[in-house]
Amino acid sequence: MEARTGTADVSLRRIARLFAGQRPRLAVVTVLIMTSSVLGMASPFLLREIIDRALPRQDLTLLIWLVAGMVGVAALTATLGLVQTWISTTVGQRVMHKLRVDTFAHLNRQSVAFFTRTRSGEVQSRITNDIGGVQGVVTSTATSITSNLTTAIASAVAMVALSWQLSLVSLVVLPPALYLSRRVARLRKEITAQRQRELADLTVTIEEGLSISGAQLSKTMGAGAAMVDRFAASSRRLIDLQLRSQLAGRWRMASMNIIFAAIPAAIYLSAGLPPTAGTLSIGTLVAFTALQSGLFRPMMGLLGVGVSLTSSLALFARIFEYLDLPVDIDDPAEPVDLPRPVRGHLRFEKVTFTYADSKIPAVDGITLDVPPGTSLALVGETGSGKSTVAALITRLYDPTAGRITIDGVDLRDLRLNDLAGVVGLVSQDTYLLHTSVRENLRYARPDATDEQIEQAARAAQIHDLIAGLPDGYDTVTGSRGHRFSGGEKQRIAIARTLLRDPRILVLDEATSALDSSTERAVQRAFDELARGRTTVMIAHRLSTVRDADQIVVVGRGRILERGTHDTLVANGGRYAALSA
């Protein structure tokens, strides 16, 4: 089953660690913000001097200096703000880049078992929707907190310097504002978690309905209308969650805005009351009111950042859940190198394997010995464990018990890349990327030359067909290779494997879905591919395994018979019954 998460607690310290490599830049941004905030505090004092001194005295020289000072402060703070925005945005984007790459790389290391139990749309949603959802927080939160906090503190200090009595009136709204913002933050966090789950479901629907395979299934089953209804229902639920997320606590925050707007009126009233009447100059009153708006804006900004940060914890919980997934199959702590040259001697020693969701072993105590350069054929009914053996050889799974060795080295002691260079797999389900034929082939060997690519295609008996296409090797294969037939895709896959030149070749029912004439063409390519290599063939049609050096019949994960074709036919056992 796919991974799910709710509103699990996420440490703010862990989020802060995302910025570990950006501390010097953040320090520069902090200095710029503090400098800009302090400079901004000069404007109200300059305004007070204009109103109380320059204008009443008609002192033109003083007025010019004061006005020039106000313009200069504005220009300097704007310049500092521009530089600060550039640096902070760069920091945020680099953090986002690292988070995306780390998540993708960690998921790329997950075993096949993870992908079999997880919807592909769910994985895509975590990387795109969830990480994209925290971009605003990652990019602007640190700078917003620093900017608003510095401005608020500077404004409060300046207000106290002008009039501590009026400052007390202004700050009386802080406790209810903090209380309301915490309530709103918790509400939005819960809604955000629900919204991201719905986004994941929507992404899964898109993946299932609009992929080439999904589109074919929908059209052949007449399920197009049902798929649209499913998408529409998910989209409607998402609309509701988006509205709830945006409107959550709005009336509370609107109430705070009204209160903040009413405070200046209270200040003017306080200045006119008998106890304070005549004690404040008009310039001081105007400057104080300007400072007050400069205090309330960053206060609301801080409250808004707090709400956004808290609601984003639901997104970080989903992202960190994937980053914390254990890697079931990984490189060993102390890898062992295969002896050179690699001979390709493959052995199974009492190997047992049971899938996580099953209690019955898919492979039960199998022992096999495939000498270098020889061929082994595994035959048996569907579900007998043949493909599981192939998956174990390529280390898509690790044995529950026993061990598999190549030239005497346990597969679990090899680096995964080293194993991939030694073992090549061609399966029935050939997967081609949505790119050119050339790039599909080069996927196996990025440094391959065009000559080497064409040589591999000739050996796989697919060169003439590719060369005859209008765009030749630059022909785009289409999603999952649907531009080509099953036999053509198989031969492209064979050419791709030939480029890697593996010592051990695993053919997992690679021709079972092909017609007889196509199978013969593909089989000739297989014969070329298998020449001089240790080969394990997993076959449904026994005609493809007659010439194998040894044939093993498996059933319910166990070896039932083994020998050559002629020997097994003569024995009249399970193999003879299958070939009848």
Mean pLDDT throughout 452-475?
Answer: 89
DSSP 425: E
Contact yes or no for 497/422 (Cβ under 8 A): no
Mean pLDDT throughout 524-541?
Answer: 80
> Which residues are paired to 346 by β-bridges?
370, 406
In Å, what is the CA distance from 424 to each residue of 230, 391, 418, 419? Answer: 41, 11, 11, 9
Q: Which two tokens stand for residue 432?
A: 């081609």
What's the pLDDT band for 4 if we cut at 50, 70, 90?
A: very low
The answer for residues whose C-beta is within 8 angstroms of residue 183's C-beta and 6 or more apart is: 249, 252
Return residue ranges of the chain for CATH 3.40.50.300: 346-579
- CB pairs under 8 A, 24+ apart, for 96-99? 96/131, 96/134, 96/135, 96/138, 96/139, 98/18, 98/21, 99/18, 99/131, 99/134, 99/138, 99/319
**Can you tell me the distance from the alpha carbon of 348 to that of 365, in angstroms, rounded to the nearest whole number?**
9
* Confidence at residue 535, expressed as pLDDT on a 0 to 100 scale: 92
First to last CA, the chain: 41
Mean pLDDT throughout 339-347?
Answer: 93
Does 87 or 242 have the greater pLDDT score?
A: 87
What's the pLDDT band for 7 if we cut at 50, 70, 90?
A: very low
* Confidence at residue 1, expressed as pLDDT on a 0 to 100 scale: 37
Return residue ranges of the chain for CATH 1.20.1560.10: 12-323
Lowest mean pLDDT among 108-112, 188-192, 365-369, 419-423: 188-192
For 425-441, write each residue's pLDDT tens digit: 888 778 888 889 999 89
Average pLDDT value over all residues in the chain: 80
Contact yes or no for 379/299 (Cβ under 8 A): no
Asked whether the predicted pLDDT for residue 315 surpasses 60, the reply is yes
Is the domain 346-579 a CATH 3.40.640.10 member? Answer: no
Q: Which two tokens stand for residue 204?
A: 């899964």
Q: Which two tokens stand for residue 16?
A: 């802060």
Asked whether the predicted pLDDT for residue 286 surpasses 80, the reply is no
Mean pLDDT throughout 174-195?
Answer: 69
Number of H helices, E strands in the chain: 24, 10
For 212-223, write each residue's pLDDT tens digit: 666 655 655 566
What's the pLDDT band for 42 if we cut at 50, 70, 90?
A: confident
Q: What percent of the chain has pLDDT over 70?
A: 76
CATH superfamily name and code, 12-323: ABC transporter type 1, transmembrane domain (1.20.1560.10)
Torsion, Cα 552 406 432 96, to 10 degrees, reads 140
